[in-house]
Each structure stands twice: as C-alpha cells, then as structure tokens.
Amino acid sequence: MALAKPSQGAREEILGRVRQALKSPAPKRPPVPTGPLFAPVENLLERFQREAATNYMEVKLASDGAGVTAALREVLASLTEGEIFVQDTPQLRQLAADTADGRPVRWSSEGAPAESSRATVSLCEGLVALTGSVLVSSGGCGGRGISVVAPCHIVVTHAGQLFPDLESAVARAREIAFDNSYVGLITGCSRTSDIEKKLIIGAHGPQRLVVILQTN
Amino acid sequence: MTATREQEFHRQARDKAENLAHRKTVRWAIDTYDAAVARGKSRFADFEAARQRCYEIKWEAVNHLDRYLEEFEANVLKRGGHVYWAADSEQARNYVLELAAARGVKRIVKAKSMVTEEIYLNPALEKQGIEVRETDLGEYIVQLRHEPPYHIVTPVMHLSRAQVIELFREKIPDDVKGDSHEELTAAARRALRRAFFSADMGISGANFLIADTGMIAITTNEGNGRLCTSVPRIHVVFAGIEKVIPRLQDLATFWPMLATTGTGQHLTAYSTLIGGPRMASENDGPEEFHVILLDNGRSKLLADTEQREVLHCIRCGACLNACPVYRNIGGHTYNTVYPGPIGSVLTPHLRGLAEFQHLSYASSLCGNCNTVCPVKIDLSHHLLQNRRNAVEQVRPPWRLRLGMRLWRWSMMDAGRFRLAGRVGKALLRAFGGAAALKPWTEYRDLPPVPEKSFRQMWRQNGAR
C-alpha cells in the first residue's frame, strides 16, 4: 500500500451514528402469507433452450464428444481470421487441438485475453433453466475477461450442469464464492436499449453467446 | 435577484410540460417500459410474494445495518480488498483522489453509478487532470452533452436518435459509420473500447453489498460494468451504506426483481459478483479492490424511524416511470441527482429540507409510486410527512401563515364562519378575474358565485 497509511476513514463515527439511530425501532409491516415466487421448472433442458432463445443465445446440442467437436468447429469456421482465447483445461486443450485448424490460440494460463480476440472458449459452473443463464466464475472458467472481451463467447457444457431455478443456481454461487474473485450469471448477449428504447444486441460485450451442450 | 430553487423548478416544469416533442419522446420510452414490465411480472408465479420478500430482506438489513456492514467489511478484508468509510462527499472524493495520485492514475473508466453523481466525483477527478470516461452508453451520451442523467436507469430517455447522431458526429466523427441505432451503438463501442483498454482504474457503483461473502453485486446489460471491473489494474467501488444485504442467497429474489422493475427483463444480461482483487491463482482482473462506503446523510435518515424505510430503495427507477408528474415535467426539472418520487422524498434528507421541501408538492399523491415499488416504500406518505416537517421546521411564507390563521379563526365559531362565507363570496365576485388567481383561472373557468349560501337555502326550503 503506497498510500500514506491504509485508512478506515470515518468508520467509528459512522457506525456510532448507525447504532444510535437503531436504538429506536422502526415499524415493520405484518407478514403476508406467500407461496413460491416462480412456478417449478419441469423439463430442464427444454426450458433452458426456450429461455436461451429469448435471450438471443445460440444453443447447440450434441449427443456425444464428437458432436461437441463438430459444433465447435462449425462456430469457429463462421468467425473471421484471428486469435481465439481458450480456458486452459485438458478437455478444452483437446477440443482446440481438434478444431482450431491452424488458428492461433492463446491460453488462459498465459494471462488476460487480447482485446482483439475473435472468440473465447470456456467451461461454466452451471446453467439455469428458469432464466436461460450461464453461471461462470473467474477461477473455474478462465478468468474475468474471457466472458466479456471478445465479440463471441463459446461455452462448452453438458446437461448435468443444469440447475432448475435461481435459488439452486445462487446456492451454487454461494458454495464457490470464496474460491473466486468473480462469479457471474450471464443471461444472453451484451445489449443496450438506451437510445429510444430500441434493443441492440452487442454493446460492449459479446454479440454472440454460444452454448455447446452435450446431452449425454 | 436570482430565482429560488422552487421558482426555478416551477419555471422549468412549465417549459417542459408545454414541450410536446419532449413529452412524446418520454411517453414512448415509458410506454415501452410499461409493456416490458407487464411481460416481466407475468413470469413470476407470485409477484406480490416477491415484493414482500424483498421488503422483509431490506427491513432486516437496514434495521441491523451496523452488524451487516461489519460483516461485509470483514469479508472484503479477508479477500485482500480495502474498505474506506466516508462520512460525506468530500471524504469519499478525497480518498479516490489520493489513491489515484499515489498510483499514478491518468485515465479512469466508469460504470454507471448514481452515488458518484451524488458526490460530484467526475469534476473533482478532472480538476486533478485525470481523464474520466463514462462507459454506459446513456451515461456516455449525457457526459458528452455535459448534462446530468435524466433518469436513474435510462439516462437519455429524453433524447431522440437525431440528437444522438448530431452529438456523435461532432464529438466522435471518426467512429460514426452510419445513423441507425446499430451504427450509433457500434460507434460508441469503438470509442469506448479504446478507453477500457487504456484505463488505469475502473470505478463502479454497487447494486448490493453482500455481507456473508464480502462481494459487491453489479447488474449491467451492456457489459461495460464487466469491462470496467476486469481490465484496469485498480477497481474502486462507491456505495451507500444502505446497500448491504445479509446473504448472497437473497439475490435469487433481488436479481429478478431488480431486472423486472428496472427494465422489464427477467434477468439483466450481466448479474455480476465481485469480491476482492484477482486471486493469486487467477489469470486476470484488477490487482487492487477498494470499497468506499458512503454515509452522506444516510445515518440521519436512519434515525428517522418514520422514514427509515426510504433506505430500502434499490434504485430501479420504477417510481419515476409510474409518476404522472415525472412523465410530464421530466427528470432534469427536479435539479436533483435522484429525480422523481424517490428523489422528492430523499433529497430533503440529503441536502436540506428548507431548500428542497417544494419537491414534496411535486406529486398528485395518486400513490402509483407506492404500488410499483419493489420494496414497498410508502413514497406518497413520506411526501406528506416531509410537507408536515417543513411546516414545523421551516417558517412558511407570510401569506400562507396569514391564510391559515384566518381559516382557523373562522372555523372556530359558527358566527365567524358565516361572516367569512359572506366576505369570501364578496371577494370572489369582486376579484374573481384578478391576475393573482391566474395560475388557477388560466385553464379553468371560475363558476359563478351563488347568490345564496347553503345555510340560507336550508332555511328557506323549510328545514326545521
């Protein structure tokens, strides 16, 4: 710490005022009987696909490892020339070897993704059927930048990673919270509606979010 | 003589309400929002249950604020982050100014943060020679226009595409390749990419501070919040002390609620949790993580048990969109960082009742804000309480005091009441068309003053 000395600022003063204020209790509304906030999710895979589509995501189902390889090859073939950034895991090393086709690959073990990366490839911590979201983390999924820097983010996953709803997905986030400096629930592509409320896909983050999901 | 805030408010309100183009732009934006929210709410099995749960979580957090703030702080420290407690705007600004100087920071990128608007951070940084770039598209546009955000969630709700085209052609001509919404967004993306990747520091707000994990939660759609907190080497968070919630699990309720009432989405594209700097085992992320907890009048509001629940606010903007006054006079007319019903309630607490009590009257008291609030803040009643407090604490104008005294005098006795009725009728007949009554009579006809009073008619018609 190069600052003169690490300062807590007005900590005691503020906490003192807060404690003084809380000596007088505030009224509380009476509880009202409540049921579940969301209807239970039945068919996880089918629901995930439906929700992901409304979030402008691309979901590619593959029945086995060969299908995953084929799906990734197809996505990479649709990109312009240039480097891709891949999370460094044995599974993705193998996949990249099978699909990169001479394209330069930078690995997450080498640092942060380059600004000019054409696409990024990572695993995920889970999928949320209720909302069509992807749960990612910095430690488990190749860092922070991997899910936001490139115009295309490709997630490789399998049906066993499906969570039915937010309660279960957030519970998973809680389990891994102290092992990561970043945990995120990504629901579709980067977007904006700031100008005249018109929805534009692809603001600062990816325009494409591709989920390659192995069903078996 | 310069106009008082109140006079200025009335002048701008009149101008804006008469500006039909402005009203059309805002009506379009809010109608679009309303349609999206209706869809969003239908995705809940029980939306009212979700509101109740949000209310209960916030009540729990705000009424045990000291405990949860300490827990949050301890967990941030455990993660290698720093926590600084700022009593007011100046302390908050000075901390980051000192930090920037110590670290040789030249360029800063910012994600959307209302608290940094509240403490007027950008001018202070710029004065120190630091380049500050807002990166939310809407915030970027208002920054280029040198004006404050128009709305908590939708900063450029008041602008048309034509106005943005004109602005971008002047400010970032090389990045503009076309006039469509897509091309304008792409132009901002190009310009801001350079900012993200050359910045030394990223500044963000926080939608929630999570006590049990020492994380901050940010929700953004564009991804700018992600880049601000991933790419630069230092991440600084500004948050009001009331933002803390007890458990990460609470976000299973708050994330869909904030998304629904904020924009009508089921979930915002990026629901992000950040705790601390990058870990030793991680490949990227900032090396430093600082959280500035801001009081700035909040502990005073906490002491007001009647209005303590105003601190439950999650800044979703729903009450702005729901307010018939906001819809017609627009966000800038309030001249406050937080506009609309929540701003009218909050601002007198943050900046003084004497100067901002007129906002308590910027309401029809229809109560629509109460019904849309995701944490059930009783906004219209708090406006009434502010009116009452203003009468008790701030000396009302002599005309009001005289009028109220006369009214009380006449109501205390039947004979005086009769006399007051006669005098009142005579005055109305004589001066009904007077210029002093113009604000009322300009748009309404004064009904003819009846010949006889109700009591005269009662007697003549043979009652008793």
Q: Please provide the distance, in angstroms rounded to a whole number, between the alpha carbons at the two ends of chain B.
A: 60
Share of chain B above pLDDT 70, in %: 99
Pairwise CB contact (< 8 Å): B56 & A22: no
Q: Sort out which chain A residues have CB atoms less than 8 A from B248's CB and list them.
A: 170, 173-174, 177
Closest to B256 (Cβ–Cβ): which among A4, A166, A183?
A: A166
Q: Which residues of chain A have pLDDT under 50?
A: 1-2, 4
- Asked, for residue A19, whether it belongs to a domain, the answer is no
Q: Sort out which chain A residues have CB atoms less than 8 A from B87's CB and list them.
A: 9-10, 13-14
Question: Considering only alpha carbons, which residue of chain A is nearest residue B183?
Answer: A200
The alpha-carbon gap from B19 to the nearest alpha carbon of chain A, in Å, equals 18
For residue B203, the cross-strand partners are B110, B236
Q: Are B133 and B140 in contact (CB under 8 A)?
A: yes
- Asked, for residue A194, whether it belongs to a domain, the answer is yes
Read off the pLDDT of residues B1-34 as tens digits, 9 standing for 90 and up. 467 999 999 999 999 999 999 999 999 999 999 9
Between CA B313 and CA B319 the distance in angstroms is 10
Task: Please state whether the predicted TM-score (pTM) of the whole model is above 0.80.
Answer: yes
Q: Sort out which chain A residues have CB atoms less than 8 A from B227's CB and list them.
A: 148-149, 204-205
The pLDDT assigned to B208 comes to 98
Mutate to test the interface with A, among B73, B193, B261, B266 (most CBs of A within 10 A): B266
Encoding tokens for residue B403? 């009028």
Question: Considering only alpha carbons, which residue of chain A is nearest residue B77?
Answer: A8
For residue B22, the cross-strand partners are none
How many domains are contained in chain A? 1
Average confidence score pLDDT of chain B: 94
Q: Is the pLDDT of residue B105 over 90?
A: yes
The alpha-carbon gap from B35 to the nearest alpha carbon of chain A, in Å, equals 12
| CATH code for the domain in which residue A59 is found | 3.40.50.10420
- Asked, for residue A72, whether it belongs to a domain, the answer is yes
Encoding tokens for residue B27? 């009506």
The pLDDT assigned to A6 comes to 61
Q: Sort out which chain B residues have CB atoms less than 8 A from A185's CB and list them.
A: 255, 267, 270-272
The pLDDT assigned to B432 comes to 76
Between CA B199 and CA B463 the distance in angstroms is 85
Question: Considering only alpha carbons, which residue of chain A is nearest residue B270?
Answer: A186
Pairwise CB contact (< 8 Å): B44 & A38: yes
- Asked, for residue A75, whether it belongs to a domain, the answer is yes
Rg (alpha carbons) of chain B, rounded to whole number: 26
Q: Is the pLDDT of residue B202 over 70?
A: yes
> Which DSSP symbol is given to B308?
G
Exposure string of B227-239, with b = 16+ CB inside 10 Å and e = fewer, is bbbbbbbbbbbbb
- Asked, for residue A142, whether it belongs to a domain, the answer is yes
Mutate to test the interface with B, among A7, A13, A14 (most CBs of B within 10 A): A14
- Asked, for residue A59, whether it belongs to a domain, the answer is yes
Pairwise CB contact (< 8 Å): A32 & B91: no
Encoding tokens for residue B461? 């018609």
Determine the CATH number of domain B47-296: 3.40.50.10420
Read off the pLDDT of residues B212-264 as tens digits, 9 standing for 90 and up. 999 999 999 999 999 999 999 999 999 999 999 999 999 999 999 999 999 99
Range of the structural domain that residue A147 is part of: 42-214
Pairwise CB contact (< 8 Å): A148 & B227: yes
Pairwise CB contact (< 8 Å): A194 & B255: no
- Asked, for residue A11, whether it belongs to a domain, the answer is no
Encoding tokens for residue A109? 């073990």
Identity at B462, one-letter amino acid code: G
Q: Sort out which chain A residues have CB atoms less than 8 A from B93's CB and list them.
A: none
Question: Considering only alpha carbons, which residue of chain B is nearest residue A181?
Answer: B275
Averaged over B68-74, what is the pLDDT?
A: 98
Q: Is the pLDDT of residue B146 over 80?
A: yes
pLDDT category at B464 given cuts 50, 70, 90 is low
- Asked, for residue A7, whether it belongs to a domain, the answer is no
The pLDDT assigned to B140 comes to 96
Pairwise CB contact (< 8 Å): B224 & A51: no
| Top-confidence residue, B35 or B427 | B35
Q: Where in chain B are the domains?
A: 1-42+316-394, 47-296, 406-460
Averaged over B121-133, what is the pLDDT?
A: 97
Pairwise CB contact (< 8 Å): B305 & A115: no
Closest to B277 (Cβ–Cβ): which among A165, A180, A181?
A: A181
